[in-house]
Amino acid sequence: MLDLVFLGPPGAGKGTQAKRFAERFRISHISTGDLLRKAVDCGSRLGREAKEYMDRGELAPDELVMALIEQQLEGRSAEKGAVFDGFPRTKAQAEALSELLKQHERSIDLVLFFKVDSEELTRRLSGRRVCGECGALYHIDSNPPQRGSRCDHCGGEVIQRDDDREEVVRSRLKVYDEQTAPLIDFYRSQSLLRPVDGEGTVDEIAARVVEAVSRQ
């Protein structure tokens, strides 16, 4: 059993690394951003409620996010452990996660904190593109799709997420500083925090992630 939290600002590369790590070690990848976007796409009540917050670059309410996480932990897919990506994002979520894991006789093993400077974050987020079908990630400069706006993997259309527009990006970074960054100290005080240099190639960062986890 391995339960990890990937913490860091939007654009730090948590999603890419979480997906890779989870596939390699065959544990579940739980991204609240992906779960919320799915809920928005299928038009559920929860999705409609979350969309208002997401469009403004604000955080969705804690209760709503916790309901999604509970569902994930009930199923069998996360029984070998999970990488929590983009969650928790508030102190209330962090406390609720510890409590929930305890009920399942689990606990967080490690929190990887991805460090990237703020100019680089803005560059990554504003150039980020995503496949609307399969979720594959691209960047207009460093990793563009090979065939115009078609996804290399599934041929779906590659688009810019609504909340990667510049004005929303600014608000997401501010929300991170105010509500999520305090979790750095919260987890440091529990000796769970491991900083990871989030700059470099995807492969370089992936190697640092594996090293940080295996040192544990």
Q: Does 205 bind ligand AMP (CB under 6 A)?
A: no
Give catalytic status of residue 51 as yes or no: no
The residue type found at 99 is E
CA distance 110 to 4: 5
Site string (21-40) toward ligand AMP, x via CB under 6 A? -----------xx--x----
- The question of whether 102 is a catalytic residue gets the answer no
Minimal distance, residue 28 CB to ligand AMP, in Å: 16
Amino acid type, 183: L
- Pick between residue 54 and residue 193 the one whose CB is nearest to ligand AMP: 54
Please state, in angstroms and rounded to a whole number, the distance separating the CA atoms of residues 73 and 78: 6
Cα distance between residue 105 and residue 47, in whole Å: 30
Active site residue 115: no
Cβ nearer to ligand AMP, comparing 171 with 215: 171
Dmax over Cα atoms in the chain, in whole Å?
48
Q: Which residues lie across from 197 on neighbouring strands?
A: 115
Residues of span 129-188 touching ligand AMP by CB under 6 A: 163, 172
Element (H, E) at 88: none
What is the rounded distance in angstroms from the CA atom of residue 6 to the CA atom of residue 83? Answer: 7
AA letter at 137: L
Q: Which of residues 32-91 bind ligand AMP (CB under 6 A)?
A: 32-33, 36, 53-54, 57-60, 65, 86-87, 89
Residues forming the site for ligand AMP (CB under 6 A): 10, 32-33, 36, 53-54, 57-60, 65, 86-87, 89, 93, 163, 172
Catalytic site positions: 14, 89, 128, 161, 172
